[in-house]
Amino acid sequence: MYDFHYHRPKTLADAANLLKGKDEARPMSGGMTLIPTLKQRLARPSDVVDLGGIKELAGIKVEGNNVVIGGMTRHADVASSADVKGAIPALAYLAGHIGDPQVRNRGTIGGSIANNDPAADYPGAVVALNATVTTNTGRHTADNFFKGLFETALSDGELVTSVSFPKAEKAAYMKFPNPASRYAMVGVFVAKTAGGVRVAVTGAGPCVFRVKAMEDALAKNFSSDAVKDIKIPADGLNSDIHASAEYRAHLVNVMARRAVDAANK
């Protein structure tokens, strides 16, 4: 690890100020991604601004038809939240299947979506539920937030403050974990909300994506039969020692069917 200046501000405004104008400054939430990166000397920030001391960033609220989760909320808290379990059990399930207990007790939703690891679980939920990402400077729709491999709509110094998920009529997440890392090798989140049906796939490609053909079929008939024959092209999907693009494409179909079945239960 290289040396850096460490800050632990108490307010969002202080955090934003500490980051402002410093190209090499980095916010830190749970540190579950950032710290290993630092330890391997893959990043050399001038400053690390720890968001852990900012009370307003953590916590879960139900606001009307939405569940609003603060950026600093740990995966374990989402997994065990009665509000989340009541409104969107699939989201609690997803959070409960991220990493291991240590990771779930440190890692946060803000850190996870800001990082936008192609194999992360949360992006699937954010896109399938058509959530809104709130930052200290504005809002992003789910479809606009995730831009590409480790790329988001956040600008320098912009901080995720909360994510607002509309309640779902039906929703389920099916994760096929990478055997080694247990990140999502393929994760399919299927949701039926007031806004319609969405199918979001994480892990399979460089960035979370939607499967329009499945969404259309499910809008007509929300059953696994409806997606059974919808094949995903392997082109552009990730390929590595754990899964070829073809295998990933195949798993998208299997996980989608299973997610629909689970959502219907």
Residues that bind other proteins (CB under 8 A): 1-2, 40-41, 176, 178-181, 240-244, 247, 250-251, 254
Minimum separation from the CB atom of position 124 to other proteins (A): 18
Distance CA 232, CA 215 (A): 13
Of residues 74 and 248, the one with the C-beta less far from other proteins: 248
DSSP state, 231?
P
Of residues 42 and 229, the one with the C-beta less far from ligand FAD: 42
210 binds, among other proteins, ligand FAD, none (CB under 5 to 8 A by kind): none
Minimum separation from the CB atom of position 217 to ligand FAD (A): 27
Element (H, E) at 163: strand 160-166
Minimum separation from the CB atom of position 224 to other proteins (A): 12
CA dihedral of 104, 32, 255, 62, whole degrees rounded to 10: 50
What are the residue ranges of helices labelled H in the chain? 12-19, 34-39, 75-80, 82-87, 89-96, 101-106, 109-115, 122-128, 142-145, 212-220, 224-227, 245-264
Distance CA 240, CA 16 (A): 38
241 binds, among other proteins, ligand FAD, none (CB under 5 to 8 A by kind): other proteins
Of residues 11 and 221, the one with the C-beta less far from ligand FAD: 11
Q: What residues line the site for ligand FAD (CB under 6 A)?
A: 26-34, 51, 71, 98-99, 103, 106-108, 110-112, 114-115, 117, 120-122, 154, 159-160, 182-183
